A and B are shown apart, each in its own frame.
Chain A
Amino acid sequence: MSATPATAPPTAPTTTVVARGPWALAWRRFRKDKVALIAAAVMAVIILVAIFAPVINSILGQDPNYQDQVNGLDMNGLPLGPSGSHWLGTDALGRDVLARLVYGARISIGIGILSTGIAVAVGVVLGLLAGYFRGIVDVVIARLLDVVLALPVVLAAVALVAVFGQSPVVTVLVLAFFSWATMARIVRGQVISLREREFIEAARSLGASSTRIMFVELLPNLVMPIIIYFSLLVPVNIVTNAVLAFLGLGIPVPTADWGGMISDAEAGGLYQQAWWLVFFPGGVLVLTTLAFNLLGDGIRDALDPRIERLLRK
């Protein structure tokens, strides 16, 4: 009775256990999301078109800025509809719509991604500073946030562009200026709770500098919200850029830009005669933002499966 029977040694598990980190798990979830995969494919195509715009146009044999006043317009000087020689028709100046769409991808996507990149970088740094140092730094940054968020975005953006002049650099900076605030707010909130955790205390007791704690210890913990916010902000900035162009304050002419193309078509009600001038740029614009939004949703669901858990409960 006193002797306990020796238990059989645990047998080795027959199936091998693979260690899956959070990234591997997120990737598995993402791979199952068909909608997000399609969106990613559409986006990849659009980005490739943007990168290889000159190549594509030389294959098509069209120049986005060539004004074909002879063959590109009909007898009344009106734009031509879609046809064999101009697949998506021509605009009021006899320029090929397809060629301009292809080049416009560069401007729209480039400006969307660049402005978001700057906004996220600024937002993360200011959010880290505010959340980590608290006190006066936090107060100043928080009031700055309030001011930026209290300004009506479109109006203030139009105003800034009007003051500083129309150029791609100004557009990118203006878009970034109005979109860093939310990122900063998210990061600040996360940092405030993270900075009380043990690993930060450990780092501090090991003598790590504030810079090191912020950028080496805290930043890796913020990667997920940053990626999610980035992917959701790009389409917002693409649309805002198009709105600026629509209001006549986008990239200066004659550079092709989707918003600008619609704005040109709108002038004088031209699109009522030539539907393709609004339909194609508008369609591409919606398709692009839709793809970005679907992909953003997919990334969010994959990285932050909280909603999934809620559904399973």
Chain B
Amino acid sequence: MIRFIIVRLLTGLLVVFLVSVATFLMFFAAPNDVARTMAGKAATPETIALINHRLGLDQPLWHQYGHFIWRALHGDLGYDYYHQRSVVSIIKKAAPVSLSIAFGAAILWMILGVGSGIISAVRPRSIMDRTLNVIALIFYSMPTFVLGSMLLFFLYFKLTSAGHSWFPAAGYVPWFGKPDPSNPEHGFWPWMHHLILPWVTLALVTAAAYTRFTRGSMLEVLSEDYIRTARAKGISERRVVFRHALRSALTPVVTQFGIDLAILAGGTVVTEQLFGMHGLGWNSLTAITNQDLPVIVGILLVVSVFVVVANFIVDLVYAVLDPRVRLY
């Protein structure tokens, strides 16, 4: 057990390190015209050289990387090029937005996906199973931005212009903290109200995969010998499904869930863009278009840490759910 944890932590660190090298190389080694953009069109070569020097872009690459990773280890991810805000403060401001979207959607899609997957698997080939299968496949095939635009169009635009403003326009409203002077709304209900459409969008698209996944896994488990034994003992079907089968059927689902949640927590670019929520995804997209290198590399690094940590937790949960898994 101890050995397993140590090995996994070291591998995780290695992956984070490799990701940091990869993202760093991807952005800092590629030719960029940050200095030219900042200096404006009429800049002299001297000005550009000066800016490059101030940003440290004229140093050798390994030197820049060493500097970056040394500061990162001390909790400093540098400053953005255009407004001199610290990357850590940008991430701190954006993370609650992304986390709100990801966790709310996750609860919804687990209920929808796993629930419909179980219903499908319990009576395979039934009308219910086929209907759920078709619905799942349609949402599975639907890109997030298509579903999101449709929901915005019908539930926000059409309803509001018909005089029913049930759903708010785009924008994030914080739950905790000081209200923004430009946006006085805050608190639990406004927070939830503004997140409903993003949650539903993300949950429907993701739940579809979970329906299919749960169904397959559940079917496999229900054909195992120990399920036949349980039935032969006269245990009620409900107990067989929920107590005996579900536990092992959910192990692969949990694995997938951990990874999906980590990736979404790191920013849902499309959803954030569509619903005007300034989370990690929106910030990194903006940073990419502005070539704001420290922000991109910082966010990607944080996201990869999320994924690695999630993988680690998933492995532990796996062992708890499935006693056959031995940690070594």
Q: Please provide the chain A residues from 283 to 300 with a CB less than 8 Å away from any CB of chain B in the complex.
A: 285-286, 289-290, 292-294, 297
B314 to chain A, nearest CB (A): 13
Once the chains bind, are A147 and B300 in contact (CB under 8 Å)? no
CB atoms of A311 and B219 under 8 A apart: yes
B interface residue count range (under 10 / 10 to 19 / 20 to 34 / 35 or more): 35 or more
Task: Say yes or no: B145 contacts A243, CB within 8 Å.
Answer: yes
- Does A246 sit within 8 A of B, measured CB to CB? yes
- Is the beta-carbon distance between B146 and A247 smaller than 8 angstroms? no
Q: Report the Cα distance A92→B86, complex, angstroms.
A: 40
Count of A residues near B, CB < 8 Å? 44
Show the binding face of A for B, using Cβ within 8 Å. 143, 146-147, 149-156, 158-160, 162-164, 235, 239, 242-243, 246-248, 259, 262, 266, 271-272, 275, 278, 282, 285-286, 289-290, 292-294, 297, 307, 310-311, 313
> Which residues from chain B sit less than 8 Å from chain A, CB to CB?
11, 14-15, 18-19, 22-23, 26-27, 30, 124-125, 137-138, 140-146, 149-150, 153, 157, 216, 219-220, 222-223, 263, 266-267, 269-270, 273-274, 281, 284-285, 288-289, 291, 296, 299-300, 303-304, 307-308
CA distance A151 to B137 in the complex (A): 26
Residue of A nearest to B140 (CB): A293
- Kindly state the separation between the CA atoms of A164 and B289 in the bound complex, as whole angstroms: 12
Query: Which has the most chain A C-beta neighbours within 10 Å: B125, B145, B263, B291?
Result: B145
The B interface, classified by DSSP as helix, strand, loop or mixed, is helix
Given known A-B contacts A155-B284, A160-B26, A163-B26, A147 and B18 have beta carbons under 8 A apart: yes
Is the Cβ of A266 less than 8 Å from the Cβ of B15? no
Is A151 in contact with B289, judged by CB distance below 8 angstroms?
A: no
Chain B nearest Cβ from A303, distance in angstroms: 15
Q: How far is the CB of A308 from chain B (nearest CB, A)?
A: 10
The residue of chain B having its C-beta at the shortest distance from the C-beta of A238 within the complex is: B143
Contacts of A163 in B (CB 8 A): 26-27, 30
**Which residues of B have CB within 8 Å of A290?**
137-138, 141
A294 to B134, CA, bound (A): 9
- Most chain A CB within a 10 A radius of its CB, from B30, B269, B274, B307: B269
Cβ 8 A contact of B153, one of A162, A278, A292, A310: A278
Q: Residues of A contacting B140 with CB < 8 Å?
A: 293
Given the contacts A243-B270, A310-B220, A159 and B26 also touching, CB distance less than 8 Å? yes
In the complex, what distance in Å separates the CA atom of A226 from the CA atom of B138? 24
Q: Once the chains bind, are A151 and B144 in contact (CB under 8 Å)?
A: no
Given contacts A247-B273, A262-B149, A290-B141, contact A159 B296 (CB under 8 A): yes
- In the complex, the answer to whether A150 meets B289 with C-beta atoms within 8 Å is no
Among B124, B125, B146, B222, find the residue whose CB has the most chain A CB atoms closer than 10 A: B146
- 5 new A-B contacts, CB < 8 A, other than A143-B18, A155-B285, A285-B143, are A150-B19, A155-B266, A156-B23, A162-B291, A290-B138
- Given the known interface contacts A285-B143, A285-B146, the answer about A311 and B288 at a Cβ–Cβ threshold of 8 Å is no
Verify A151–B219 contact, CB threshold 8 A: no
Contact (Cβ within 8 A) A155 B138: no
Contact partners of A149 in chain B: CB under 8 A: 307
- Smallest CB separation, A238 vs chain B (Å): 9
